[in-house]
Structure 1
């Protein structure tokens, strides 16, 4: 393969990153995609060796040395390239020898999307497991003193009724004890919701996902009858699968309800849209296990998007983008879907937030 000035210009049109090295292994050319991937202009990296760009650039330099020694024509290898002060790059690296003594090596770097996806899912599962342990421990730690606080407030209220006090004063003090009792009950309800997924038995049966979607749709329409259009884009070929129908209804409802609340301004304007889309996807890896088929369900809204500062934490318990929100809806949804060996992913930008649910199919 020989690189000419005209073909170099064509390399700038490629989506993959291309580096051309001279006979000493220094960067002679970098296309536009390489500048974006490396977050550096060509002027900044020109005449540098790859070992200068990466903390662990030696494996890549070894491939370059082998190419310079004509040990292969081209070679492919997955690599993790560490950079100082920046996130590591997961890349699919292809090293090719060229028929040009001045620039004998071409390197193509492609972001390894599959590896990034696996890493993200692994972090999500680890995070979810940590959340479960935290929630269980925290909830049990809260329950005992909470019962004592409520009981003490009830006893105090009984004592107040027996004291020689003006009626107005007694009424005011009893209002204070009622505040304590009601707040204790509110916290008890919150604790019960935190523990609900771990207490309720997993009731497995045949699930038709479109019956689940239609149930969720009817509940959302009942709550938001005006200004919100719910679009259905179903794949009728999706088979039934074994699962807990009520858990899946609750998971989808939590997501759809959050989306509907985020659409408040568009609902007022009358142009809010919520799309429920189902598809089948093939050859999916979930929790390090490969599945031939999986349900690919999307809940998409045209709202303002999720705030950037919480986008990476939306499945954490008690994290909410809405004032007054409990921050439990998405946490519980993720827990219910994971109990079906699935996962929920989210992509969000202004005008389009897409929650994607993946669940293995038989």
Structure 2
């Protein structure tokens, strides 16, 4: 649901109601105007008390939670904000359906967590990177001084592990090293590039279906980063489909749609790209669902736990978000990016 808005006289009579509020109440604006707005609440006293405070200028804005009655439907739980309007004697009432408010709060919390994790990982990577060169160099010098060639096996272990850690550190730092190169992006060219790459890697037993809305316009973005973000998500899906590939019925669907009136990062967007990566694999283990985008968290043996973290980073650089809905037999990664 969208933001519900009403402008009231100080006595509570409705002067204006937006279309979203009309839809929720199931009444036309003409029917609502002039009516005491408190009667649409399951507990009218909550709004009446807020209006008394507004009339006496006791607060700049007051918030409370209540229930909004609907014609022939159950009441909608809402978060209500009451504030003085710009014109004297008028009061602005904004209502957020609590399901939408909870979603926005969750998105904001996930965004903040992702940023905190990225900063932690970047700082940790820098701290690890500096001693690694010294460890590797010392192992090489030690190897040159060994009396017995048989002992070189141990120094080679040190060198190999130092190189492995160096590779991991480089991947952790990669998103911060590449500048954001913006140009016109056709999302379906991005999808087709990723589709060809993944099918080349998995030529047997995997089908990648295209379900595109070709009316989606080009938008400004970093094509290389979007390819990498989508590639990471699709590769993650393909890896989860190993058993179905062996059976020959593994399927990934790339679906594009236009979403309307989407809130991302507390900002409302008229249009947004909605890109789904849907697979018919076993699903994300329940224990990982809340942590799937955390760095170094992986659901498979040998996984680095960086693919989805990097995908999230690149999508967030486009002021978007990525989320996952997973049940056994169907996992849906949904990417949202604002459109002009």
Q: TM-score, normalised by structure 2?
A: 0.74
The alpha-carbon distance between structure 1 residues 263 and 159, as it changes in their structure 2 partners (threshold 3 A), is same
Corresponding position of 2:307: 329
Number of aligned residue pairs: give it.
266
Q: Does 1:225 align with 2:203?
A: yes
SS at match of 1:309: helix
SS at match of 2:216: coil
Corresponding position of 1:116: 102
Q: How well do the aligned residues superpose, as a CA RMSD in angstroms?
A: 2.3
Matched residues in 1 for 2:43 and 2:182: separation? 55
Matched residues in 1 for 2:63 and 2:132: separation? 53
Matched residues in 2 for 1:65 and 1:205: separation? 53
CA contact (8 A) 1:229 1:273 kept: yes
Corresponding position of 1:125: 111
Corresponding position of 2:45: 66
Give structure 1 stretches of 5+ with no counterpart: 1-61, 70-76, 81-91, 97-105, 164-169
In the TM superposition, residue 316 of structure 1 has moved relative to its aligned partner by: 0.3
SS at match of 1:318: coil
Most deviating of 239-248 and 107-116: 107-116
Corresponding position of 2:89: none
Corresponding position of 1:54: none
Q: Does 1:142 align with 2:128?
A: yes
CA contact (8 A) 1:278 1:296 kept: yes
Matched residues in 1 for 2:268 and 2:164: separation? 43
In the TM superposition, residue 289 of structure 1 has moved relative to its aligned partner by: 1.1
Once the two structures are superposed, residues 238-275 of structure 1 have per-residue CA deviations (whole angstroms, 9 ceiling, x without a partner) of 11111111110110010000100101111111111100
Matched residues in 1 for 2:163 and 2:284: separation? 31
SS at match of 2:214: coil
Listed as ranges, the matches of 1:95-114 within 5 Å are 109=77, 112-114=98-100
In the TM superposition, residue 64 of structure 1 has moved relative to its aligned partner by: 3.7
Listed as ranges, the matches of 1:53-202 within 5 Å are 64=43, 66=45, 93-94=67-68, 109=77, 112-160=98-146, 163=147, 170-202=148-180
In the TM superposition, residue 66 of structure 1 has moved relative to its aligned partner by: 3.1
SS at match of 1:147: helix
Q: Does 1:257 align with 2:235?
A: yes
Once the two structures are superposed, residues 174-203 of structure 1 have per-residue CA deviations (whole angstroms, 9 ceiling, x without a partner) of 111111111101100100000000011111
Give structure 2 stretches of 5+ with no counterpart: 1-40, 49-61, 79-96
Matched residues in 1 for 2:244 and 2:271: separation? 36
In the TM superposition, residue 112 of structure 1 has moved relative to its aligned partner by: 2.4
In the TM superposition, residue 107 of structure 1 has moved relative to its aligned partner by: 5.9
Q: TM-score, normalised by structure 1?
A: 0.70
Match 2:283 to one of 298, 305, 308: 305
Matched residues in 2 for 1:317 and 1:257: separation? 17
CA contact (8 A) 1:301 1:354 kept: yes
